[in-house]
Structure 1
Amino acid sequence: MKRKIFVACLMLAGQLTFAQEWKPAGSKISTPWGEKVNPQQPHPEYPRPMLVREKNWQNLNGLWNYAITAADRKEFPEKWEGKILVPFAVESALSGVGKEVGKDKALWYHNTITLDKKVNKDNILLHFGAVDWQCDIYVNGSLVGRHEGGFDSFSMDITSFVKKGAKQDIVIRVWDPTDDGPQPRGKQIKNPHGIWYTPVTGIWQTVWLESVPKTYIASTKHTPQLDEGKLTFASNIGGATAGDQVKVVVLDGNKVVTEQVGDVNSTLDINVPNLEQWSPSNPKLYDLDVQVIRKGKVLDRAKSYFAMRKISMEKDKNGIQRMLLNNKFVFQYGPLDQGWWPDGLHTAPSDEALKFDVIKTKEMGFNMIRKHIKVEPARWYRHCDSLGILVWQDMPSGDLGGNSWDMQPGKISGDRRDKNRSPESEAYYRKEWKTIMETLHNYPSIVVWVPFNEAWGQFKTKEITEWTIAMDNSRLVNSASGGNFMNTGHILDIHNYPDAAMPDPDLFGATQILALGEFGGLGLPVDGHVWQQKDNWGYQSFKNKEELFNRYRQLIEKLDKLIPMGLSAAVYTQTTDVEVETNGLMTYDRKVIKIPETQLIEVHRKLYAH
């Protein structure tokens, strides 16, 4: 009994120590999940649902040391300023710091970790979900490598840098010029205002270690071929030798559907008998058991999954191009989802919070989300796959300015001038967009790629669009949502606030799918749930929920009339309030839903009856 009391006291003392080292910074509003964050175990879930090894991994999220120095400092800081909670950006409340960095300073992280026995063997990989923007990784004082890109996951093999024993020293230097640089940065700006938000610097997704054998599954690629009833499967095997094989087992629950074996460098066409289609009404997922085999011995094994679905386009009886899901017209309607949080900025306070937005979107009667100018952690896409939400994935914008555009309902007008980007700027864009598409390829919920938004940094439109299609011809490409319009890509997408509108089907309907990429923006500030008390805005603001709903219902009635005329999809602005924008269906802290889900799902029902 005394021992149990002693252990309990030790645990309580440890929790009190963590509480003393960390508390949310600032005085902004917070979400229910942010109020419950455990600094000992933030985001403890396995972070890579598309390639799962459940045993040999170690989560490094938690309290790290930090320091902010001059940007030109190359030596490690002489002293650390305090603790920062990883994986929350340094500017966020949940980081416990709440400081801005900017282009003239660098952010440093330090942690002395104790390697779990389960990862202190074979090859050791250090994984980062995302770090914004440029980061140098040091292990035990030696530089492992540099990564540039704020929205793509990456890994480094640190095996040769690990010293004997369990204790290992990790230092990370981050530099992020925010909107002073040409790199993709999304909605961040050093002077937040209007539709531009607080900077996000540093680690903002899970950091973790993984032990893998010398020959291991580095990645897989799944492409459903619905009409042929098969899955095209490819894999990247690290450390493979001649004669190695890959075995793929398809499972429906515990039942083996089929299995196939091929050489490690080959592409497998795996027949899926009696297949069940994935859709928002039936989000059917199949599991995969992937093995690397050498002379009958399994060297590595991982779990994955896939779905059988098809996104395509075809003319209807009136000669207008329609967007098809599984060879049938399904009107796609969803909110503009920016994925920002008042307490975590780019980072949801928890996985439960991350899933909450997707669940609520579904409960409101939407079947699609446009993920706007941001890439989410991998678990968000898994939630969309599991719950049945179609996703339009934007490329985060950067290097803005130098373009002009003007899109009016029914016609395209204005100067369609592409931006002249520098070779450095173009290289940053191409590298990150390519990596994003490769990383997210396997998630069946993603049906549309969106390279550009509203001419923000838009350049070489036709070339980038065709390059995007060539990289992934299994999805549709919306080359410029509301931007410089050119006859390229699969979709013509206008933005119109607040009322519903569409491009003229007589002019454009024969060649491109017609979409309303943004509309609405109806604002309602809710006292006690706003980022700031004054100077909040929406595209059209209202005094109470009743006025808001009546106006929203008018928008849906107009939208419903456009569908028979040729409209295939629409995106309402937006899921939640974001900073000074109060045009969300929910408040920024997710504590108030401005229009009840039951009302929304009822008015949306008619949109899917066409």
Structure 2
Amino acid sequence: MKQSFILAFLLAASTCSLSAQEWKPAGDKLMTPWAAQVNPQQPHPEYPRPQFIRKNNWQNLNGLWKYAILAKDHQQIPNHWDGDILVPFAVESALSGVGKPLNKDQSLWYQTEISLSKKLNKGKTLLHFGAVDWQCEVFVNGKSVGTHEGGFDAFSIDISDALKKGAKQQITLRVWDPTSDGPQPRGKQINNPHGIWYTPVSGIWQTVWLESVPKSYISSTQQTPNVDQSVLKVAAAIEGAQAQDQIQLIAYDNGQKIAESTAAAGQEQDLKLSNIQLWSPSHPKLYDLEVKLLRKGKVVDQAQSYFAMRKISKKTDGKGIERMYLNDEFLFHYGPLDQGWWPDGLHTAPSDEALKFDIEKTKEMGFNMIRKHIKVEPARWYRHCDSIGIMVWQDMPSGDLGGNIWDMHPGKFRFGKHDKIRTAASEAIYRKEWDRIMTNLHNFPSIVIWVPFNEAWGQFKTKEIVQWTKQKDPSRLVNGASGGNFIEPADILDLHNYPDPAIPDPARFGKDYILAVGEFGGLGLPIEGHTWQQKDNWGYQSFKTKEELKARYSQLITELSELIKLGLSAGVYTQTTDVEIETNGLMTYDRKVIKIPIEELHQIHQKLYDKNLIN
């Protein structure tokens, strides 16, 4: 009996190893340096939720799953599979090992057999998905346990009742994603990639994982710094709470306790802090936070988190111009338009090291901000921004495009006149996902601005959406309409202008707004051997040498600095990297070539942070 068990174990292990050895990236497209380092037995092994950690009670499910592409109306769990897919890479990506498109008339099925860790056999078992694009139904051991719609928001399902005795469990997913044939938020994806529109992303594209929690547990926290009062406001959500339960908060600075507070579960607490150091790009100070659920003095559940104390606000300067202030000091926001796309993984970076690389290089180049363009990143990306010290303007991914009416304003930028009329179903999809995105990302201090709409792409009921966004999160500023459809600008007037930077005219809309150029530049330089395709690549203005590119870029920064004197508070350069046929990145799409030396970029940018520009 013992020999049979050992033989079976060795056979299973060899089969797993063989399957992993057979995996390879699909197709012949461009690859980043990290593609060769992907471990098919467990890609992205890092703990995926850095703002709320229970590190001893989790199990990573990334790796090779089975997949099948079937008709959209196929409802039964398949008996036959097309092959293996590497989770968490989208089916269209090279790193999935599949590289196949999915259309609106098809469904994508996944299945994996797991061995449930013994440490997850107590209390409740939660199945977490970082992101699945777009609509999915989840089955555990053949039983449907839940559904979800939304391609950019994390979600979890309690699967405790569907688990069977023993370690072996089966998890199955059915996914439907119409991409540009549907009204859902999709960002830059399109069924027919061209121009500024990229390859679709369907199915699982962030980490899948299991977590064990007690029957009563802390499901989430909302942490909001109030610098003026020197407090961190904390609200904890509890599942299965009982009368007399309490939440205890303990703040630490480098392991030393600096504050403590206890209150009834369900009650928002003000954690009073003293001698605080404020977070900024030049000093990204983070504090640790311990959150405990107490019952009769005993710890029922606990999690580790972190926070920062920082304040973003709109204030009038000495010349009567509205400016953006960080911690009550003017700081010009300058950063790249960051699409967050990868030639090998599409929406998914090949590794956490790669995910961090873009942010590190952005900071080294002398930027202090990133505009995350109509995409939401995995939670670890925001953690890296928090730690490295980069402010984030977070866009809502757009969808249901077309239908807005424009007029042309003298100059090169456009001002919209009308909202798009969207169906009730389309509106509901947008509201639900934007609400979840803001909730999921609330605790990351690097995020300082919400951007609900970009260039009138699907823009609807602007005043209502902008006001709702501000009410949901009064602790941040709102850029209501990046790119000119200024029906309700909220805090910021933000135009897009290529290639030279420009400044909005406050005389047309009033002087109550911060002025920003939310996109400019787009200077293109294709680097041979590092492009998505051999020819027909483009930028808003193209160059043949790095020297020409640097000279023109330097000129744009000089122009930008002059606009700061006239009232400009922020600029966003297009863009961090090349993306597919766009060659207007500061880095190539494969991240192997930086087109202007980092040290020179850093030096060029310093003139933008001269405090004398507004005096």
Q: TM-score range by the shorter chain?
A: over 0.9
1:397–1:453 CA contact under 8 A, matched in 2: yes
Deviation by residue 1:268-301 (Cα, 9 ceiling, x = unmatched): 0111100000000000001001100000110001
**Cα distance in 2, alignment partners of residues 577 and 302 from structure 1:** 39
1:319–1:509 CA contact under 8 A, matched in 2: no
The amino acid of 1:154's aligned partner reads F
**Cα distance in 1, alignment partners of residues 341 and 105 from structure 2:** 25
Aligned equivalent of 2:325: 324
CA distance 1:408–1:573, shift in 2 (3 Å): farther
Work out the percentage of aligned pairs sharing the same amino acid.
68
Please show how residues 26-45 of structure 1 align to structure 2 within 5 Å: 26-45=27-46
SS at match of 1:426: helix
Aligned equivalent of 1:532: 533
**Cα distance in 1, alignment partners of residues 384 and 489 from structure 2:** 32
**Cα distance in 1, alignment partners of residues 335 and 407 from structure 2:** 24
Aligned equivalent of 1:367: 368
2:416–2:484 CA contact under 8 A, matched in 1: no
Deviation by residue 1:299-335 (Cα, 9 ceiling, x = unmatched): 0010001100000001112211000100111000000
Deviation of 1:404 after TM superposition, in Å, equals 2.9
1:505–1:565 CA contact under 8 A, matched in 2: no
**Cα distance in 2, alignment partners of residues 83 and 575 from structure 1:** 33
SS at match of 1:462: helix
Deviation by residue 1:468-497 (Cα, 9 ceiling, x = unmatched): 001000000000100411244000100000
**Cα distance in 2, alignment partners of residues 590 and 544 from structure 1:** 18
SS at match of 2:78: coil
Deviation of 1:504 after TM superposition, in Å, equals 2.0
Aligned equivalent of 2:420: 419
1:320–1:509 CA contact under 8 A, matched in 2: no
Deviation by residue 1:8-30 (Cα, 9 ceiling, x = unmatched): x9999578513443110000010
**Cα distance in 1, alignment partners of residues 109 and 327 from structure 2:** 49
SS at match of 2:120: coil
Aligned equivalent of 2:466: 465
Aligned equivalent of 1:389: 390
Is 1:157 the counterpart of 2:184? The answer is: no
Please show how residues 80-479 of structure 1 align to structure 2 within 5 Å: 80-405=81-406, 408=409, 415-479=416-480
**Cα distance in 1, alignment partners of residues 413 and 108 from structure 2:** 45
**Cα distance in 2, alignment partners of residues 252 and 306 from structure 1:** 11
Deviation of 1:103 after TM superposition, in Å, equals 0.3
Deviation of 1:76 after TM superposition, in Å, equals 1.3
TM-score for the superposition, normalised by structure 2? 0.96
The amino acid of 2:106's aligned partner reads K
**Cα distance in 2, alignment partners of residues 130 and 476 from structure 1:** 26
Please show how residues 509-520 of structure 1 align to structure 2 within 5 Å: 510-520=511-521
Deviation of 1:118 after TM superposition, in Å, equals 1.0
Deviation by residue 1:551-595 (Cα, 9 ceiling, x = unmatched): 000000000000011000000000000000000000000000001
SS at match of 2:285: coil
Deviation by residue 1:508-552 (Cα, 9 ceiling, x = unmatched): 562100000000000000010000001100000000100000000
Deviation of 1:385 after TM superposition, in Å, equals 0.2
CA distance 1:139–1:118, shift in 2 (3 Å): same
The amino acid of 1:28's aligned partner reads K
The amino acid of 2:76's aligned partner reads E
SS at match of 2:579: coil
**Cα distance in 2, alignment partners of residues 280 and 475 from structure 1:** 16
Which segment drifts farther, 400-409 or 357-366? Answer: 400-409
**Cα distance in 1, alignment partners of residues 160 and 484 from structure 2:** 46
**Cα distance in 2, alignment partners of residues 12 and 24 from structure 1:** 22
SS at match of 1:554: helix
SS at match of 2:66: strand
Aligned equivalent of 1:575: 576
Aligned equivalent of 1:480: 481
**Cα distance in 2, alignment partners of residues 505 and 345 from structure 1:** 39
Deviation of 1:413 after TM superposition, in Å, equals 6.1
Is 1:561 the counterpart of 2:562? The answer is: yes
CA distance 1:90–1:487, shift in 2 (3 Å): closer
2:191–2:200 CA contact under 8 A, matched in 1: yes
Aligned equivalent of 2:503: 502
CA distance 1:311–1:415, shift in 2 (3 Å): closer
Query: RMSD between aligned alpha carbons?
Result: 1.6
**Cα distance in 1, alignment partners of residues 406 and 17 from structure 2:** 56
**Cα distance in 1, alignment partners of residues 440 and 522 from structure 2:** 31
Aligned equivalent of 1:75: 76
Please show how residues 53-72 of structure 1 align to structure 2 within 5 Å: 53-72=54-73
CA distance 1:601–1:270, shift in 2 (3 Å): same
SS at match of 1:430: helix
Aligned equivalent of 2:607: 606
1:585–1:595 CA contact under 8 A, matched in 2: yes
Which segment drifts farther, 403-412 or 263-272? Answer: 403-412
**Cα distance in 1, alignment partners of residues 408 and 457 from structure 2:** 14
CA distance 1:409–1:358, shift in 2 (3 Å): farther
Deviation of 1:41 after TM superposition, in Å, equals 1.3
Unaligned 5+ runs, structure 2? 1-6
Deviation by residue 1:52-83 (Cα, 9 ceiling, x = unmatched): 00101000000000000000110111201100
Alignment: residue pair count? 603
Aligned equivalent of 1:21: 22
1:334–1:570 CA contact under 8 A, matched in 2: yes
